């Protein structure tokens, strides 16, 4: 009879893989891709080095897979934040609040996507470009809708979305470098929401 893993065995394997992924995010954020080693990751995750090679053939494969998962997580969260609101004012407030919350909850993820992924490995170039394109599209869709309704001034919404994407990223990165990010975050949502609305000449 062929061996079939039990539910308990699968759960333990999933737990080890999750521990490695979470550890890898922290290690890459702290040391950067080139300085981080596989031993750093397994040490942080408290698993055997053989466990690493059971899931991943090398560090680059792990990093690219990690980038994919964290990018999808952030994009989904931001899309849901905008999709749950109906006016541009509320959409901008919701997406900034979500971005800030994620940054405070797990800053390593934001550092990995915005800093650690830049020039880390050649194979990541196209994936990072795709991530940025999807991020810009998330910001552009509500602008297109507002433009159709006459709620913002006539403009190139693609360029406006690119500008907002860059501005939001910069503010979030500076927030994480602040001595007291929790305290600083209290004014960021309102400030960046108003900035976004002024930038697109919102008249709602």
Measured CA to CA, the distance from residue 140 to residue 176 in angstroms comes to: 25
Residue 30 belongs to what domain range? 1-56
pLDDT tens sequence across 37-81 = 999 999 999 999 999 999 999 999 999 999 999 999 999 999 999
Q: What is the CATH number of the domain that holds 144?
A: 1.10.357.10
pLDDT at position 155 is 98
**What 3-state class would DSSP assign to 166?**
helix
145 shares its domain with 188: yes
Provide, rounded to the nearest whole percent, the portion of the chain with pLDDT above 90.
72
Q: How many domains does the chain have?
A: 2
**Looking at 26, 56, 86, which one is the last position of a domain?**
56
Measured CA to CA, the distance from residue 104 to residue 60 in angstroms comes to: 27
71 shares its domain with 146: yes
Which residues lie below 8 Å from residue 72, measured CB to CB, with a gap of 6+? none
69 shares its domain with 6: no
């Amino acid at each position: 009879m062929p061996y079939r893993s039990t539910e308990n065995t699968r759960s333990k394997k999933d737990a080890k893989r999750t521990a490695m992924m979470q550890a890898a995010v922290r290690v890459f954020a702290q040391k950067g891709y080139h300085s981080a080693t596989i031993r750093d990751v397994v040490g942080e995750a408290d698993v055997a080095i053989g466990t690493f090679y059971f899931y991943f053939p090398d560090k680059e494969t792990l990093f690219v897979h990690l980038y994919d998962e964290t990018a999808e997580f952030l994009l989904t969260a931001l899309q849901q934040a905008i999709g749950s609101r109906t006016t541009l004012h509320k959409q901008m407030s919701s997406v900034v609040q979500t971005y800030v919350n994620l940054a405070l909850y797990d800053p390593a993820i934001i550092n990995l996507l915005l800093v650690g992924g830049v020039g880390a490995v050649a194979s990541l170039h196209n994936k990072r470009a795709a991530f940025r394109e999807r991020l810009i599209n998330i910001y552009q869709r509500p602008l297109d809708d507002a433009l159709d309704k006459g709620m913002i001034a006539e403009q190139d919404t693609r360029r406006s979305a690119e500008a907002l994407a860059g501005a939001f990223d910069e503010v979030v990165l500076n927030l994480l470098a602040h001595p007291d990010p929790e305290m600083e975050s209290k004014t960021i949502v309102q400030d960046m929401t108003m900035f976004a609305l002024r930038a697109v000449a919102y008249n709602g």
